[in-house]
Amino acid sequence: MPLRKGYQQQLTHMKIRHILLLAAASLLIIGCNSQKKLAKTEQTVTEAPKVEQPKKKSVQERAVEAQPDFSSVVAQKVRFAITYQKKNISSSGTIWMLKDSLCVISVQPLLGIELARLEATPQEVIFVDKMNKRYVQMSYAEVSKETGVPVTFSDLQNMLMARMFVLGKPQSILWSDAAKQRLNGNSAIVNLTQGKVAYEYSIDTNSLALSRSVLTMGPAGKATIDYEGYALQSDVLFPTKITVDIAGGDTEANCVITLPNLQFNSNPRISRINLSNLKKTQLSTILK
């Protein structure tokens, strides 16, 4: 009997141990399954961070990025055809430009002899009438007062460089919410009004080249600049013909500039005009 009792106790201990082992194993299995389910649940709930897509650039913003850019240009054998107050003038000449520094237009109607000259810097504009030995020297504030147009050196430079411009404003305003865009065949038309001036630009959607700028200035008149015959010269896409039409009040003027020979980024040496032997006068006197 004592042996049987001891045997039963041994069996009882073994059962308890087996039960404990089974319970521990069950807890481990349940724990592992719970962790897997939790990890699976977390993977399902967790979202990948959203990556913001870059904003699509407008036609005018891409056109500004693609517009002609150079440190200097020399235009030789330039042809000027000017109509002013029903008078026609034709002449040859040369244009020099140092970006952000100096622009010189020399009119040489006969055998390369200079008879008239325009010099523009960021500070002033000088017009020289060599034939009559006189000149006009004006700040941009004076030019604006005389013409009614708030023009700056940057505006003149951009006009000659076949670039879009807004008088006295940075180019970034061209792709602001204030600018409206529509398509017309192969052209994108951009409209913008700033102050008393309404602007309209025509951009070729294939080449992104500027084909026309129109500035409507109310009583001060309207200016239209056309750019034609784009050609690649020294890796710069540039028009070979620029036409400027100005109409306002009693004033009508047209200037066609033909540019057959362009040299870019050659860092030319440009001699400034000596004014010491010339007489200073008023713009109205020269324009008579």
Confidence check: pLDDT of 27 > 50:
no
- The span from the CA of 95 to the CA of 79, in Å, is 10
pLDDT score, position 283: 84
pLDDT interval class at 55 (50, 70, 90): low
Cβ burial 181-198 (10 Å sphere, 16+ → b, else e): beeeeebbbbebeeeebe
pLDDT score, position 25: 42
Among the listed residues 97, 18, 22, the one whose alpha carbon sits nearest the alpha carbon of residue 270: 97
Among the listed residues 55, 65, 54, 56, the one whose alpha carbon sits nearest the alpha carbon of residue 203: 65
Confidence check: pLDDT of 40 > 50:
no
User: Residue ranges of the domains in the chain?
Assistant: 59-266+278-286
Most confident of 149-158, 169-178, 214-223: 149-158
C-alpha 131: how far from its chain's center? 39
Please, which residues have CB within 8 angstroms of residue 151's CB and are 6 or more apart in sequence?
Answer: 140, 143, 144, 167
What residues form DSSP beta bridges with 224?
214, 245
Which whole number is the average pLDDT over 9-26?
A: 44
- Contact present, 153 and 160 (Cβ < 8 Å): no
47-56, 227-236, 262-271: which has the minimum mean pLDDT? 47-56
DSSP string, 142-183: HHHHHHS----HHHHHHHHTT---BTTB-GGGGGSTT-EEEE
- The span from the CA of 279 to the CA of 237, in Å, is 41
- The span from the CA of 209 to the CA of 211, in Å, is 6
Which whole number is the average pLDDT over 115-123?
A: 95
- pTM confidence score: 0.77
pLDDT score, position 28: 39
- The span from the CA of 254 to the CA of 83, in Å, is 5
CATH number of the structural domain 59-266+278-286 = 2.50.20.10
Query: Which whole-number Å values give the CA distances from 141 to 144, 148, 154, 216, in the listed order?
Result: 5, 10, 14, 20
- The span from the CA of 275 to the CA of 217, in Å, is 34
- Contact present, 128 and 112 (Cβ < 8 Å): no
If you average pLDDT over every residue of the chain, what do you get? Answer: 82
Strands in the chain per DSSP E: 72-84, 87-98, 102-107, 116-120, 124-129, 134-139, 180-184, 187-194, 197-204, 210-216, 222-228, 231-233, 236-238, 241-248, 251-258, 261-264, 279-280
The Cβ-side half-sphere exposure at 283, using a 13 Å CA radius, reads 13
